Amino acid sequence: MKVITTPEEMQAISQQNKFEGKKIAVVPTMGFLHNGHLTLVKKAKEVADIVITTLFVNPKQFAPNEDFERYPRDFERDKKLLTESGCDYLFSPDISSIYPIDFATSISIGGVTKVFEGESRPTHFDGVALVVLKLFNITLADIGLFGQKDYQQTLVIKKLVKDLNLNIKLLITPTVREANGLAMSSRNRYLTDEEKNKASIIFLSLEEAKNAIAHGERRRKMINSVVISTLRSVPEIKIDYVATVKSENLELADEFLPGEEVVILIACFMNQTRLIDNTIIKIPTAFTENFIE
């Protein structure tokens, strides 16, 4: 694996690979890699000839009160993991090469950016869209791979690609979880073992909601209440939001129709650490009659 640190060199390498007829896949990350990231890299190797993993902690997606400075970083560890995973190039630029001193461009995407994560973190998705567009342009990728854990982010990136007619295919892979169901995240390192065990209630709350839907629940507020009541069984959990919405556009509905696909979104704090998770569910056309309240 070769480490590239400048956009100019990365773009030149990508141009040469494309000239040779090779298909390029990019896995954008902010580093401190876990098995969720490595699963994306392995999937990228299946669908492309060249795999580029980007490692860049993007300051423009952090608000002033968020954890940019303390966001976990371990370059040598990440480099070792990517080498072992068969990644071809690690693109790890510094901030000044991505955002030079005279940088003056911004991107703003409406619609799906204005709710949930967008309400909690108003500048977040503009920063995500900006850096993802730059990384797509620098790597000249044919395929971009992202994880479902950041569900709303995947919708934002899909909107970016569609609205700007970007010539790139997106692959969204399922959330990778710890043995107890906790969604893998770089921020999990902030949690003690006890907190990780308690945070598994997030996954359990999603499973409880899926069970309620399987047994006939269709009302949005009731589905949300199942999640909320389960989360509240752990006092250390502070809920930011819980939302059950249509999966394609995050729209609300009082009641969901059979055959409709919904996503349940959760953002909460385990003590000081913010965690997100979700699950996608297709509303069944029939349900189990022997459901016990």
The reply to whether 34 belongs to the active site is: no
Instruction: Find out whether 48 and 137 touch, Cβ atoms under 8 Å.
Output: no
Contacts of 102 (CB under 8 A, 6+ apart): none
What torsion, rounded to 10 degrees, do the Cα atoms 265, 59, 158, 44 define?
-100
Q: How far are the Cα atoms of 58, 67, 100, 205 from residue 63, in angstroms, in the given order?
A: 11, 8, 19, 29
Residue 257, token pair as written in the block: 């129709």
Residue 112: name the closest of 161, 147, 145 by CA.
Answer: 161
Burial class (CB in 10 A: 0-12, 13-18, 19+), 177: middle
Euclidean distance between CA atoms 242 and 229, whole angstroms: 11
Please state the three-class secondary structure of 98-131 as a single string: HCCCCCCCCCCCCHHHCCCHHHHCCCHHHHHHHH
Which residues are known to be catalytic? 37
